[in-house]
Each structure stands twice: as structure tokens, then as C-alpha cells.
Structure 1
């Protein structure tokens, strides 16, 4: 009997999947697409039967109750799974997409969507880094976002950066930290792209301002077992991509806190009493035109804003407290002890504003995309661009072409120039910043 007539998709998965030697994150993605989407529909099908009705796979992809991108990835996984069954169990791959089939317009739309990436200019990247630092209250976030924008490093490579790989004029990308199911594993960069990254003077200065710390991981084997890293959260833990996006990156880029569980999307309100760009205050719901606004109560109360209900901000400790009948602030708990209130009149309301969007839809990976046009505009040689981004130069060109010191010097000078131009543009918006490290960098522009 021909063995191809009796092998089912489930049986083939049980043979194929254990033989894979891929990144843990890739295996986890494959497992998801196989268990959630492929096997429920085709698990009992014989492989040979799929060859007879490839249109069933097309219909399955279209009918998946997920986004178009997820459906495409599910089919791509199915294609990879069946590829290795050729020629032993299949004569062709019924999941492979046929070139030239389908609506031309739709294919062009999908291609345009894939090519359309949000990326940031040097000034936008600087403002984005400033906002992230304001939201977190930490200078390290300004340095991390600036490093991402001016090196093109991947998110996992940023997390894996340690002080031992930093020296004047150069970073070495040797490791990455990738998040998987709430844990972090340490591995080599994507596609083995270990590489040097030339660092301009301003970036050397920024990185020297961040104090390395040890994480609290207790993993074994490939999992992070604890080590010294440059970019960690305030509690000594690694940044989780989704959490960082919700708390810092999306509000900084969009000017809105994204919807999170039952909490609706909310605008980022800032205290502009001390000038641009304002200091973020706890989020409030968005006001709707024509609808009377009712301030929130309980958790999430904006304590620096007068509520109009017998409360006001104390001019001594800056906390919102109850008022006496004569409109003076009563004694209360303040910073580090008891505040008498001083018998003073309450402080004025905080002047509030909303952040406008910077680059809607950008992601941390979008900072990597923005680094490419920086190099293109500066005329950086292709072979040095490829090395810096961790890409492989194909063919003989990649075999014999090598970056020269002259190329590296020109790149460093160009990046330094772009940074100084962005700083000058930021100084024209306002000569001070609530972010300490940026405020120090703006000092020469104030003197001018």
C-alpha cells in the first residue's frame, strides 16, 4: 500500500514538529497556529486528500475568525509543514500560494500594506524618547529610545545589551533577550547577526549616564538566569513588550493611552504649568462634545486638580486636600510627615493640555525602520548599512565588500549631525525639559 494514503495531518505533525531546530519563539508561534487553527480543521485529513482539493485551504484561510495578517501566518505555517512532506507523502504542496492567482488589486493592496511602515524622523524620535521618559519618570527610557533610533537595534537586542559590550565609539550586538510566555530566554541575535555598531559621541555620552543593574531572573539553561543589563525596569525586571507599549510607547506616540481591558482609551493629559511638553498627570476619560463632563472618583483621581467639591491643592505640599469653611487648607498628611497647611489659600488649578499625536501607529520596531532613511539620506555605503542592521549582503558583493574606516567615520559624523539638528529643533520649541538628561543637553542652546 502507498504510505501516502494513510498518513493524516495530525500524524505528520507528530513526526515533523519534534524534528524542528528553530528559535523558541518561532516554535511557540508554530505550535499556536497548528493547535488553534490547522489541526481543528484538517487534523483528520489524509495528506494525499489535500492534493485533490487545494481550494479547501483557500476557503479555510478566508474564513478564519482572525485578522488578515494572522490568517496569512497560519497558512504560511501550513505551507511550511507540508513542504517537508514532499516527496515522501505528497507530490506537491496544496497550501502553497499560486503566483498570478487572485485579484490583482487585492494583491497590490496587501503588498502596499506590508510596505507601509510608520517610522520617525530624528526630531520625532527625540520627542518620542522625551515623552517616554516623562511617562516613566526615568532618564533611562530617554536613553533607551534614543539608542533604538540611532542604532537600528531590535527590541530584543536592546534588552540584551550589557555594559560589557559598550566601549567608546562602538557597541557590540552579541546577545538578545526574547520574551516567551512571560519568561525571557537569552540567545544570539536573529539569523546569527552578531555585529559591531559604530556609536557617535552623543550616544556614548547618553549610555554613560545609565547605571547597569542586575535582573532578578532565576531561570536555567537558555532562560535568563540573572545578569547585568543596561536597560531594566525600576524594579529590576526586564521590559515586557506589550506592557511597555501600553504604559509608555503608545501614549507617547499617539497622545492616548490605549484601551486596556475594561478601561477605555484615554487622552494623555499634562500639566503645562512649567512649559512644553508638560508633565503627565494620571489619566482621565476623554470629554465628549455636548456632554457634561463628570470628573472620575476613587482610583485614578487626578490629585493635582481642584475638584470643585470642597477640595483644593495645598500650596505647601502640592497635594489635593479638604478646605476649611474660610477656604484655607486644613492640616493633613504631606510628604514625609504632617503638613499644617500653613493657613494659606489653596494653590491655583493646574493648567492642563493634551499631547498631540507624534507618529500614529509607530512601534519600537518603527524606530529601526527610521534608522534606514537616516543612513540613506546621509549617503552611507550599502555594505555598512547591511552590517549595522544585521542583514546579509547576498552574492559576490557580500563576499568581497567590507566596510572601511572612512565609511565608519562618515556614518558617525552624519549621525552626530542629525542628533544636533534634532536638539536645535527641540530647543526652538522650548529651551527647557522636565527630563533631566535632555534639559542638560539643551543648556548650550539656552546660552545661545
Structure 2
């Protein structure tokens, strides 16, 4: 129980902290004021709002060393936190006490990161890691989180631009999806790439969920999305989907046919991962399991490599810039070959006002009178595999699919009482299948107007079947 004691001409408040330590606060003019302060601290302890009077003197490094080992997160998430803390946060604030941190000082640090050459996203992620770290120190050690961004603060224009950009997330139409998947397969040289990209678009699954799809979870009219393949430091391990969103996704007839044909073809279905002798980190690394989508060598697709070398050129029509030594280049194709042409080694783009000289040397295509060269036009610049998931949700909205069925397909929880009393029926799932099937057929019809055939075997077969007389 709190009490007050006389100390010279003033009074001191005494109370027991959460761990039983006898705490004190001097400097009160009256016994009543000291006693009230002590009782207020006891009330704060009961309400879990108590601030340790000594906790604020702890340094950020000391708190991180307490906080980080207690986290129970995916290894990839822990690795991201570790990187942001070690590279950005601790070099700047490691020796600072928790109580000395201010919102203004942290905001200046974030802007300094941008001025020093880091992207705004990187700076924001670094501040987010600091905010998450300090958030768990409230209220035990500090009363408020100085790294949290206050709502309604900052440039109004910036927040409006961010909101508009988020609302205008790039998503693809069925024809754009088809064209990008076709190009991706041409660049990679794998029919499986076409089927994998179509699977993402027509199931709404995440990139990592597509990578983790095992053959045994593919059914006649649905797939079970039960796993996600995490990529960490060049290796892979399997875990449950984001937020535990395990689900069964209804699939349209055409996709069932593509997947069935893929599984029956002579493609590798077991990855080439092997156990490592020094695996002592407690992570269940992939050691050679069955997966539906692998490279020709039986390896897992790597997100960054696939994006840079396959998906970005397919969607943008340009190979992205790699370094100061290699600027972005248009995708050059020889259209003597079946649509959409055979990709050739990239050439630099023509610079305005300068005479263009074609590069020569080993690996460069020889330009002859018979050459038929062209550059791919952009299909949908900025599209990402996750943007395809946005497009899937939009398609379901346009097709009038009930919200509860949409949520099951996407792996989202239906909030409130609606989630308790609403249920997905077979009729709803059949409506999903029918709507997606019609979108595929419409895309095939439009694609056939460009060329009746394709260099991608699966698409070529679909075009021929679609154009065959009934």
C-alpha cells in the first residue's frame, strides 16, 4: 500500500512496483499530495499503465537486446527486423536512452536517410522497425512511443498522393494477364511459367503460396492453399500462409485442364534442395520436396531474379536497369518466329539526337536483310504478381460474387456478425468458376485477333481448341 514519509521540509511518496521493488518520488509539499501520487502509481500498475521511473534511463541497445530475443515471428520477418535495426536504428540511437528520444529527432533522422540516398520506402521501413520496437516499451518504460507517426500531421499533399497511388494499384485485365504470362513463358523458355502466372491471376494466391503449392493439393475443381514458401538468404523453408489464411480455392475448368496437363508432363516436380550439415538455426529448411512449379533444373523461382529477368520485361517491355553500367533496355525480338517473337540479347535504346549504332560482338544478333526485328510494347507497366491478386479481387467484385465467397477465395476473414452468420455455398463457388471461365474465353478470343497461334505450347493448344469449329 502506498504511503508518504517526511523528508526534511518536504514529503516523499512510496509504493511497490510491479516486481515488488519499493519505489519513491520526492519533492511534494504536503503529505496528501505525496500519498495521492503513490496511490496513482498503484492504480496505474493495476490498469497496466505503469511507467517504470528507471526504465526510461535504459538505452535503445539495451532494450533491443531484451525485446528482440522474445519475438515469436517467422525467420524471414526476424531477419528483416535485424537488418533494419543493425544497419539503420542502432548506429543512430543505440546509445540514446529511451526517455531522450523525441518525435522531432526521429523525424529528422528519417529525412536524413532519404537525403543520404536511401529510398523513402527504406527510410519509412527503418522508422517502422524503431516504432515497433519502442511500441512494446510502452507503458512499462516510456509513456508514449516517440517513433509513431501522428495522424493528420505532415504534408497534406503527400498523404493524399500516397492514398491515391494506393487506390490506383496496378491490376490487369484478362487479356493483359494472358499477354504478360505468354511473354514471361517466352523469356523463361518454360511452358510452366505461363501456367504459374495464370494460376496466380485466376486463384488470387500470393507469389509465395504459388511457389509452395504441392501436387497433392491440386484437385479436379479446386486447390488447397495450405502453405507458403519463404525465401531467406538464398534458401527456402515452408510455413503457413500469411495470417494463417489456409483455404480451399475454387478453380475454373480451363485452369483445371492446364494444371492437369502440367502435372502429367515431364517437368520436374521435386526440388533440388539438399540438407545442409551446419543447419543448427532451428529453421525447417527445404530438403527436397514435391512442388508444382519449379525451374527446368528443379530449383525454386527466386522473387528478385524472376521479377528482373522475366516479369518486368514481360509487363513493361523493357529490361530494368541493373547498375550504372547497364541502363534499362527494350526487349528485342525476332518476329520471324511465332508470336510474340523470339527474344534476342537486348540492345541499348536509341538516344534522342544521336545516330544509332547497333552493338556487335559475341552474343549479339547479326542484322541481315532477312532479319525481322521489333521491340515489345508495354502491356501494363508497374504490374507485380501481388498486383495480380488485386486484379483477382476486382474481377470478383465486377462479377457480383458475394462478399463471403470473395473472402474465402482471398483468404480474408469476414469481420463482425456477418462473418458469423454468412456461409459459402456450392452455388457461390460455381458462380466464381463460371465467371472466371468466361473471362478466360473472352481473353482467348481477343488474343486470337493478334495471332491464331502462340510459341507457348499450352496457350497454342488453347487457341487452337477455341478456334476449332463446334
Query: Fold match, TM over 0.5?
Result: yes
User: Counterpart of 1:294?
Assistant: 357
Does 1:444 find its partner at 2:465? yes
2:173 to 118, 121, 142: 121
- What SS class does the counterpart of residue 262 from structure 2 fall into? coil
Aligned to 2:238: 186
Q: Which moved more, 1:169-178 or 1:23-32?
A: 23-32
How many aligned positions are there? 404
Larger deviation: 291-300 or 2-11? Answer: 291-300
Please say if 1:384 is aligned against 2:405.
yes
CA distance in 2, matches of 1:54, 1:367: 37
114-123 or 18-27: bigger deviation: 114-123
Comparing 3-12 and 207-216, the one that deviates more: 207-216
1:197 match: secondary structure: strand
What residue in structure 1 maps to residue 126 of structure 2? 74
**Aligned pairs for 1:2-21 within 5 A:** 2-21=53-72
Name 1:25's counterpart in structure 2.
76
What runs of 5+ residues in structure 2 fail to find an aligned partner?
1-22, 24-52
Q: Say which of 370, 374, 381 aligns to 1:349.
A: 370
Please give the secondary structure, in 1, of the residue aligned with 2:449.
Answer: helix
The C-alpha deviation readout for 1:9-31, integer Å capped at 9, x for no partner, is 00000000000001112111111
Q: How does 1:42-441 map to 2 (within 5 A)?
A: 42-50=93-101, 53-65=102-114, 66-211=118-263, 213-219=269-275, 221-261=283-323, 262-274=325-337, 276-303=339-366, 305-306=367-368, 348-441=369-462
Residues of 2 paired with 1:274 and 1:240: CA distance? 29
Contact 1:161-1:229 within 8 A present in 2 as well? yes
Change (3 A) 1:235 1:444: closer
> What is the alpha-carbon distance in structure 1 between the residues aligned to residue 252 and residue 465 of structure 2?
19
Matching residue of 1:313: none
Tell me by how many angstroms 1:298 deviates.
Answer: 3.0
Post-superposition offset of 1:421: 0.5
What residue number does 2:40 align with? none
Per-residue Cα deviation, 1:333-374 (whole angstroms, up to 9, x for no partner): xxxxxxxxxxxxxxx522111100000011111111110111
Q: Deviations over 1:149-194 (max 9, x none)?
A: 1001100001001110001001000111111111111101111111
| Mean Cα deviation higher: 184-193 or 104-113 | 104-113
Structure 1 counterpart SS, 2:305:
helix
1:446 Cα deviation from its structure 2 partner: 3.7
Contact 1:284 1:302 in 2 (8 A): no
Q: Could you tell me how far 1:115 is from its partner in structure 2? A: 2.8
Q: TM-score, normalised by structure 1?
A: 0.87
Structure 1 residue 434: Cα displacement: 1.2
Contact 1:283/1:300 (<8 A) preserved:
no
TM-score normalised by the chain length of structure 2: 0.83
SS in 2 for 1:98: coil
* Whole-Å separation in 2 of the counterparts to 1:293 and 1:349: 20
Tell me the CA shift for residue 5 of structure 1.
Answer: 4.0
Contact 2:319 2:328 in 1 (8 A): yes
